[in-house]
Amino acid sequence: MNGYRFTLAGQTLVALGSGALYWPAEDLLCVSDLHLGKSERRARRGDAPLPPYETQDTLSRLEADLAVTGAQTVICLGDSFEDRAAAAALRDQDKLWITALQAGRRWVWIEGNHDPGPLELGGTHLAELPLPPLIFRHIAKPGQSGELSGHYHPKVTVRPKGRAVTRPAFLVDADRVILPAYGTYTGGLRSRDHAVSSLMRKDALAILTGPVARAVPMPR
């Protein structure tokens, strides 16, 4: 399993190179900000088009992470769809694909700011989910501990051998983890942006996604 192990609130977690987070003790896989239907929404609004394959690409990567981890619980940390209309416009074969991924698993949709959760699909729909000592929600709250959230789509730039490389990244400190966006075509907010950096301790790490998940001091 390609992942970087760390602890939060005494729990061992694994940041996968894909952008998913695995909690071995609970056999739980967490992903954030799938933004399924992004290309459909852009086309509907008359924006510059994107290739209409992001839903299939995102679901393929999720299927692969489930096969590798064997996780029996899945938590989607909000903004699973671009909006309600994008959820309604999901192709029948993609709805069946999600149903197949859900089969035999506990599946939790956390409400995001883009959507309240795909209510017509299976699974449980919650504003947030406490699983002590951790808590799962869409947007981080200052002063919390043991928190896992998404929303900000963090990314970082490193310069190995002088060459700039920008990747989505997990932001990790003693209080929280902010997950990167898992969905294809999702943008990102640099870790030095005040909205993100103000939430993280000075010794926070950034765990870069990619073929090998690796940690660096969080750029500020």
Structural domains of the chain, ranges and CATH numbers in brackets: 3-217 (3.60.21)
Q: pTM for the complete prediction?
A: 0.91
Has residue 69 got a pLDDT over 60? yes
Measured between alpha carbons, how far is 160 from 58 in angstroms, rounded to an integer?
28
Can you give the pLDDT at residue 51?
A: 57
**Residue whose token pair is 């998940």:** 213
Residue with tokens 């992942």: 3
Residue 186 pLDDT more than 60?
yes
**Beta-carbon contacts of residue 143 (< 8 Å; ≥ 6 apart):** none
Closest CA to 16 of 32, 31, 4, 33: 4
Buried b (16+ CB within 10 A) or exposed e, 106-127: ebbbbbbebbbbbeebebeeee
Could you report the per-residue pLDDT of 169-182, keeping only the tens digit for each?
A: 999 999 999 999 99
